[in-house]
Amino acid sequence: MNVFKFLKRRGSAPIARERLQILLAHERRANSQPDLLSILRDEIMAVVAKHISLEADKIQVRMERGAPVSTLAVDIEIPNQFELLVAGAA
């Protein structure tokens, strides 16, 4: 019976290997993502802060992955009387 079992059953290692290859390809991409977002966040913030004074926690940058295209959403909270806060207005 062992003879047939040996002939019939292939080990599970190839499955492990394939699952890992797919998973790690995805995770490596995902792990490099936060860096890109924080770079974008810092640079966008620097540009906006040239004109309006901002607090660091009032800006949010999100990347949404979609089927045909992905979107980058930037939310910046600006105080209502922002004219008063124009950087270097004095």
Partner 1 sequence: MAKVLVVTSGKGGVGKTTSTAALGAALAQAGEKVVVVDFDVGLRNLDLVLGAERRVVFDLINVVQGVAKLPQALIRDKRLETLWLLPASQTRDKDALTEEGVAKVIAELREKFDWIICDSPAGIERGAILAMRHADEAVIVTNPEVSSVRDSDRIIGMLDAKTVRAEKGEGIKKHLLITRYDAARASRGEMLSIDDVLEILTTPLLGIIPESEEVLRASNVGSPVTLSNRLSAPARAYTDAARRLKGEEISVSIPSSKMRLFDKLFGRRAA
CB of 42 to partner 1, least distance (A): 17
Residue with tokens 């004109």: 51
CA distance 76 to 48: 9
Of 22-41, which residues contact partner 1 (CB under 8 A)? 23-24, 27-28, 31
Q: Is the dihedral of CA 73, 78, 83, 84 positive or negative?
A: negative
CB of 32 to partner 1, least distance (A): 8
Residue with tokens 């950087």: 87
CB of 7 to partner 1, least distance (A): 9
Residues that bind partner 1 (CB under 8 A): 2-3, 5-6, 10-14, 16-17, 19-21, 23-24, 27-28, 31
